[in-house]
């Protein structure tokens, strides 16, 4: 048995380089004025999957739900070592909150067939909720370990993970199937490989209808493991067997009423005595107020 891993990745606006109005009057993101990047913690999730593959073996499929342009993060995943990638794209997915996003990703994961380990970034830098990973696990009905900071041991049957919690770390072992969310401190993502860039730079997406999905997967649902993919599969609401009413805006109870810029200011100055006692009392105060952990 070889380990089947799925990594969820999101293309996000580069929140450090905003030009123009980032939000539309209706409270949705004005993606047209924002440069896009690979969500940083999803790079950590992909790197973790690549390291596990190097020690245990197996395959990595990367999926993203987004507009056609999101194919860029899939190509980037191929450059870094992913075996297979799938774009989930449909106008019906537009305006999804975390509930609708996790529903669509759950349907796509089930469509992929058997899997052992799903890896997500801990958090996306645009929505910032850190809810999608845990919601996918809940909907798939599988175990989840959030906040992975390192993998202590991995085999084809189970994995032991060090995870960050509020006041320290926990070591948790789980059998598969399992979903983990990965913190930015877990690893240093590798760079794209030049040979893979050459192999995949011109790869294009291709819409796959239901019959195509079946012929691609084969009757036993087995995933092919092509050394060079000929195209990037694109699925829509129907291809992943999703209920359109649970997707996009219609499946999203969240409504963003208003977005406000808040500039934090301080009027107080605190003098800390330059003594051991003064400094340790100040440190205690910062910890009590959860300013430092």
- The yes or no reply on residue 177 touching ligand FAD (CB under 6 A) is no
Return the residue of 10, 80, 163, 205 that touches ligand FAD, per CB under 6 A. 10
Return the residue of 74, 85, 96, 107 that touches ligand FAD, per CB under 6 A. 96
Q: Report in angstroms how near the CB of residue 96 gets to ligand FAD at its nearest.
A: 5
Q: What is the number of other CB atoms lying within 10 angstroms of the CB of residue 110? A: 14
Return the residue of 44, 64, 183, 236 that touches ligand FAD, per CB under 6 A. 64
Return the residue of 36, 123, 150, 164 that touches ligand FAD, per CB under 6 A. 123
By CB under 6 A, which span of 121-129, 149-157, 190-198, 239-247 interacts with ligand FAD? 121-129
Q: What is the number of other CB atoms lying within 10 angstroms of the CB of residue 13? A: 18
* Contact status, residue 176 vs residue 212, Cβ threshold 8 Å: no
CA distance 100 to 98: 6
Q: Which residue number places its CB atom closest to ligand FAD?
A: 127
3-state class (DSSP) for residue 169:
strand
Cβ distance to ligand FAD smaller for residue 4 or 10: 10
CA distance 123 to 164: 14
CA distance 187 to 149: 8
Cβ distance to ligand FAD smaller for residue 32 or 202: 32
Return the residue of 31, 72, 110, 130 that touches ligand FAD, per CB under 6 A. 130
Cβ distance to ligand FAD smaller for residue 263 or 269: 263
- The yes or no reply on residue 13 touching ligand FAD (CB under 6 A) is no
* Contact status, residue 17 vs residue 128, Cβ threshold 8 Å: no
Q: What is the DSSP letter of 240?
A: T
C-alpha distances in angstroms, 224 versus 73, 83, 221?
A: 21, 10, 9
In our burial notation (b when 16+ CB lie closer than 10 A, e otherwise), range 187-198 reads: bebeebeeebee
- The yes or no reply on residue 101 touching ligand FAD (CB under 6 A) is yes
Name which of residues 217 to 276 contact ligand FAD (CB under 6 A). Answer: 254, 256, 259
- The yes or no reply on residue 41 touching ligand FAD (CB under 6 A) is yes
Strand partners, 235: 88
Q: Report in angstroms how near the CB of residue 10 gets to ligand FAD at its nearest.
A: 4
Strand partners, 178: 117, 143
By CB under 6 A, which span of 74-82, 128-136, 223-231, 284-292 interacts with ligand FAD? 128-136
CA distance 33 to 43: 23
- Count the residues of the shown chain that bind ligand FAD, applying the rule CB under 6 A: 32
CA distance 100 to 90: 13
Q: What is the arrangement of strands in the sheet containing 232-235, beginning at the earlier edge strand?
A: 168-175, 158-165, 143-154, 178-182, 117-121, 4-8, 59-65, 84-88, 232-235, 205-207
- The yes or no reply on residue 22 touching ligand FAD (CB under 6 A) is no
Cβ distance to ligand FAD smaller for residue 195 or 258: 258
Residues near ligand FAD, by CB under 6 A:
8-10, 29, 39, 41-42, 45, 64-66, 96-99, 101, 105, 120-121, 123-124, 126-133, 254, 256, 259
């Amino acid at each position: 048995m070889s380990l089947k891993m799925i990594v969820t990745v999101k293309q996000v606006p580069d929140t450090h380089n905003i030009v123009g109005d980032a939000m539309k009057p209706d409270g949705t993101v004005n993606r047209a004025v924002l440069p896009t990047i690979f969500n940083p913690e999803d790079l950590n999730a992909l790197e973790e999957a690549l390291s596990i593959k190097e020690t245990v073996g197996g395959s990595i499929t990367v999926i993203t739900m987004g507009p056609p342009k999101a194919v860029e993060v899939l190509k980037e995943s191929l450059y870094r070592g992913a075996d297979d990638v799938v774009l989930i794209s449909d106008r019906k997915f537009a305006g999804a909150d975390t509930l609708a996003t996790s529903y669509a990703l759950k349907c796509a994961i089930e469509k992929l067939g058997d899997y052992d380990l799903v890896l997500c970034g801990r958090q996306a830098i645009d929505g910032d909720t850190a809810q999608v990973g845990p919601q996918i696990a809940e909907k798939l009905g599988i175990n989840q370990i959030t906040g992975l900071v390192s993998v202590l041991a991995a085999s084809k049957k189970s994995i032991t993970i060090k995870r960050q919690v509020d006041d320290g770390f926990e070591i948790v072992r789980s059998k598969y199937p399992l979903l983990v969310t990965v913190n930015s401190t877990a690893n240093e993502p590798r760079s794209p490989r030049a040979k893979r860039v050459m192999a995949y730079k011109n790869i294009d997406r291709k819409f796959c209808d239901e019959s195509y999905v079946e012929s691609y997967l084969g009757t036993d649902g087995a995933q092919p493991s092509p050394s060079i993919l000929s195209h990037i599969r694109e699925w829509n609401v129907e291809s992943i067997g999703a209920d359109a009413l649970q997707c996009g805006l219609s499946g999203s109870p969240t409504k963003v009423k208003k977005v406000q810029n808040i500039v934090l200011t301080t009027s107080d100055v605190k003098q800390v005595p330059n003594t051991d006692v003064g400094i340790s009392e100040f440190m205690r105060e910062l910890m009590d107020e959860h300013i430092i952990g």
